[in-house]
């Protein structure tokens, strides 16, 4: 009776390697599922190892570079030569199923390991030896399985964690003494003072009703990060990349001239700029070409797609900040479920992505229509659509409120604002002011920061005196009818 062959999937191994040679981002899809030990054929293991090396060193992966790497390690002959490497791509149409194939390869590897280790344990159990030795072997097998399946504990003793905390403080102290900050600077000095710069691992929700300037604000943060030498990645599910570039160009061109009027953006979109304005546009174009701002406008992209692209860019040191516009257009990846469960899966996934990559993740979100029913139009936590999971997972929630939007719609709104805010903000022009309300901020506490925004909502800058108000967003409301409660909130 012939012995049974070990579990294997050689054809799938060939398909995975072929896809890795053909598809630029395919490695990111399988690197967390399999490694070189997962392959049954030694030649396949060596080829995968070469591909892994090239990816780790940000080098192009193709038949020639892999063969060159195998030549360098003197393994090209043992795998069957360059002809063997080339043949791996013969029957590969695309990398669409590479993840499923990789999971099957990983499954076969686990089966082989179970057979190997159980055979060792069985032979030792029959032998007259200490049974603890077999238990030790089994423990080693469990540890191996944890590494393969990603369940290996990452926990540490508190003494080690506390040491890291002190070391990080010392790093922050050095930065502070040198006049620098620990995080990524904002376009606003007031926001930078409040946050000490945007910190890695944080999920920040930027929420507002339509027309408040969520996208414009996010672009300001992305541009400020890029000008500071960072690499922000902007995933736009609503606007195409050229439309976003239009906004960036207009904002930059207007910012080059302190006397720029609000007709610039309209004339730009009509193609009717004056010679002087076109010169500003040309200079703005040159300035933007120096930015490291990655924009992805793939339609219908989901959480998995964003995660894979971000991981790939992070490994290449090209992702220091992630911005997603916006949550309600994002879809989860997996079985069908109700919207609340889907949003919960996405916010949790984005929080984990922020921690994994150690970058701040900004997610824009829409508010429901309840805001419109209040005289002061001030948003609260309950206005967040599917608010439960958003409020729970977010490290910070920033409400963007631009009074000019309502001033244009309601003739009495400007007077209403002035009457209720004159004591605190006597000199504020609400037509050119936006409130960034840090309604939740785990690290720094609540705050309201006022910034100047022009009428077309393209140029943003600090108010002259860095106006902030650190009271909670739901404390001491000024209301026209004290019995009306929160719904009549006119407090800013």
Instruction: Provide the pLDDT for residue 477.
Output: 35
Q: Are residues 56 and 187 in the same domain?
A: no
Residue 479 pLDDT greater than 50, yes or no: no
Residue 97 maps to a domain: yes
Q: Are residues 230 and 125 in the same domain?
A: no
8 A C-beta contact, residue 403 and residue 445:
no
Residue 35 pLDDT greater than 70, yes or no: yes
Instruction: Provide the pLDDT for residue 436.
Output: 92
Residue 115 maps to a domain: yes
| Angle (nearest 5°) at CA 34 between 33 and 36 | 165
Residue 415 pLDDT greater than 90, yes or no: no
Q: Cβ contacts of residue 488 below 8 Å, gap of 6+?
A: 374, 375, 376, 477, 479, 480, 481
Residue 160 maps to a domain: no
Q: Are residues 78 and 200 in the same domain?
A: no
8 A C-beta contact, residue 207 and residue 365:
yes
Tell me the HSE value of 452 on the side-chain side, using a 13 A CA sphere: 13
Residue 488 pLDDT greater than 60, yes or no: no
Residue 166 to residue 294: CA distance in whole angstroms: 34
Q: Are residues 69 and 209 in the same domain?
A: no
Q: Are residues 356 and 460 in the same domain?
A: yes
State the burial class of residue 381 (Cβ atoms within 10 Å of its Cβ: 0-12, 13-18, 19+): middle
Q: Cβ contacts of residue 202 below 8 Å, gap of 6+?
A: 354, 360, 361, 395, 396, 443
CATH number at residue 55: 1.10.860.10
| DSSP states of 310-348 | HHHHHHTT--SEEEEE-GGG-B-SSS---HHHHHHHHHH
CA distances from 72 to 43, 76, 78 (A): 15, 8, 13
Number of domains in the chain: 2
Instruction: Provide the pLDDT for residue 133.
Output: 60
Q: Are residues 106 and 34 in the same domain?
A: yes
Strands annotated E in 71-123:
none
Q: What is the pLDDT of residues 435-476, one digit of tens each?
A: 898 988 888 888 888 898 887 788 888 887 677 666 554 443
State the burial class of residue 343 (Cβ atoms within 10 Å of its Cβ: 0-12, 13-18, 19+): buried
Residue 80 pLDDT greater than 50, yes or no: yes
Residue 42 pLDDT greater than 90, yes or no: yes
Q: What is the pLDDT of residues 147-188, one digit of tens each?
A: 555 555 556 677 777 777 888 788 878 888 888 888 899 999
| Angle (nearest 5°) at CA 237 between 233 and 238 | 120
Q: Are residues 113 and 47 in the same domain?
A: yes
Can you state the angle between helices 303-315 and 339-357, rounded to 10 degrees? 10
Residue 158 maps to a domain: no
Residue 321 to residue 314: CA distance in whole angstroms: 10
CATH number at residue 221: 3.40.50.300
Strands annotated E in 282-421:
294-296, 321-325, 361-366, 396-401
Residue 387 pLDDT greater than 70, yes or no: no
Instruction: Provide the pLDDT for residue 272.
Output: 83
Residue 480 maps to a domain: yes
Number of Cβ within 10 Å of residue 478's Cβ equals 16
Where among 149, 173, 202 does a domain terminate?
149
Residue 66 to residue 61: CA distance in whole angstroms: 6
Instruction: Provide the pLDDT for residue 478.
Output: 40
Q: Are residues 370 and 269 in the same domain?
A: yes
Number of Cβ within 10 Å of residue 338's Cβ equals 9
Residue 1 maps to a domain: no
Per-residue pLDDT band at 217 (split at 50, 70, 90): very high
Q: What is the pLDDT of residues 335-368, one digit of tens each?
A: 556 677 777 778 888 888 898 889 999 999 888 8
8 A C-beta contact, residue 460 and residue 434:
yes
Where among 129, 149, 169 does a domain terminate?
149
Mean pLDDT of all residues in 58-82: 90
Per-residue pLDDT band at 483 (split at 50, 70, 90): very low
Residue 348 to residue 337: CA distance in whole angstroms: 15
Residue 255 maps to a domain: yes
Task: Confirm whether pTM is higher than 0.95.
Answer: no
Mean pLDDT of all residues in 124-141: 64
- Residue 468, phi then psi, degrees to nearest 5: -135, 160
Instruction: Provide the pLDDT for residue 105.
Output: 92
Where among 98, 126, 149 does a domain terminate?
149
Q: Are residues 381 and 478 in the same domain?
A: yes
Residue 124 maps to a domain: yes
Mean pLDDT of all residues in 303-315: 85
Q: Are residues 203 and 137 in the same domain?
A: no
Residue 390 pLDDT greater than 50, yes or no: yes
Residue 326 pLDDT greater than 60, yes or no: yes
8 A C-beta contact, residue 244 and residue 295:
yes
Q: Are residues 143 and 241 in the same domain?
A: no
Q: Are residues 419 and 344 in the same domain?
A: yes
Q: What is the residue range of 66's domain?
A: 10-149
């Amino acid at each position: 009776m012939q012995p049974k062959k070990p579990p294997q999937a050689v054809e799938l191994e060939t398909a995975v390697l072929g896809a890795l040679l053909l598809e630029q981002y395919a490695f990111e899809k399988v690197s967390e599922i399999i490694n070189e030990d997962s392959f049954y054929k030694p030649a396949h293991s060596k080829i995968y190892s070469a591909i892994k090396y090239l990816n780790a060193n940000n080098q192009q992966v193709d038949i020639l570079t892999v063969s060159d790497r195998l030549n360098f390690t003197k393994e090209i002959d043992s795998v069957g030569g360059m002809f063997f490497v080339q043949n791996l791509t013969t029957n590969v149409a695309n990398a669409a199923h590479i993840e499923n194939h990789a999971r099957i390869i990983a499954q076969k590897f686990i089966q082989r390991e179970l057979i190997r280790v159980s055979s060792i344990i069985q032979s030792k159990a029959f032998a007259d030896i200490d049974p603890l030795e077999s238990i030790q072997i089994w423990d080693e097998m469990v540890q191996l399985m944890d590494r393969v399946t990603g369940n290996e504990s990452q926990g540490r003793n508190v003494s080690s964690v506390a040491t890291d905390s002190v070391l990080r403080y010392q790093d922050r102290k050095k930065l502070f003494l040198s006049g620098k900050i620990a995080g990524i600077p904002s376009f606003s000095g007031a926001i930078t003072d409040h946050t000490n710069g945007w910190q890695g691992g944080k999920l920040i929700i930027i929420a507002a009703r339509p027309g408040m300037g969520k996208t414009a604000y996010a672009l300001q943060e992305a541009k400020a990060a890029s000008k500071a030498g960072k690499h922000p990645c902007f995933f736009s599910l609503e606007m195409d990349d050229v439309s976003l570039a239009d906004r960036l160009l207009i904002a930059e061109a207007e910012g080059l001239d302190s006397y720029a009027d609000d007709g610039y953006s309209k004339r730009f979109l009509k193609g009717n700029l004056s010679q002087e304005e076109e010169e500003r546009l040309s200079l703005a174009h040159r300035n933007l070409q120096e930015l490291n701002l990655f924009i992805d406008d793939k339609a219908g992209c989901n959480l998995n797609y964003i995660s894979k692209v971000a991981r790939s860019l992070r490994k290449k040191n090209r992702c220091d900040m992630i911005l997603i516009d916006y949550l309600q257009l994002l879809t989860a990846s997996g079985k069908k479920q109700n919207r609340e469960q889907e949003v919960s899966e996405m916010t949790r996934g984005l929080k984990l992505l922020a921690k994994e990559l150690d970058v701040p993740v900004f997610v824009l979100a829409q508010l429901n229509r309840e805001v419109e029913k209040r005289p002061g139009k001030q948003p609260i936590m309950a206005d967040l659509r599917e608010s439960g999971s958003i409020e729970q997972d977010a490290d910070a929630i920033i409400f963007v409120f631009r009074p000019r939007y309502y001033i244009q719609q309601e003739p009495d709104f400007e007077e209403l604002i002035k009457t209720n805010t004159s004591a605190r903000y006597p000199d504020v022009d609400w037509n050119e002011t936006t409130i960034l309300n840090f309604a939740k901020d785990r690290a720094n506490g609540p705050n309201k920061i006022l910034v100047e925004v022009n009428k077309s909502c393209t140029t943003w800058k600090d108010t002259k005196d860095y106006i902030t108000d650190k009271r909670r967003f739901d404390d001491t409301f000024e209301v026209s009818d004290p019995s009306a409660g929160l719904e009549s909130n006119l407090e800013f």
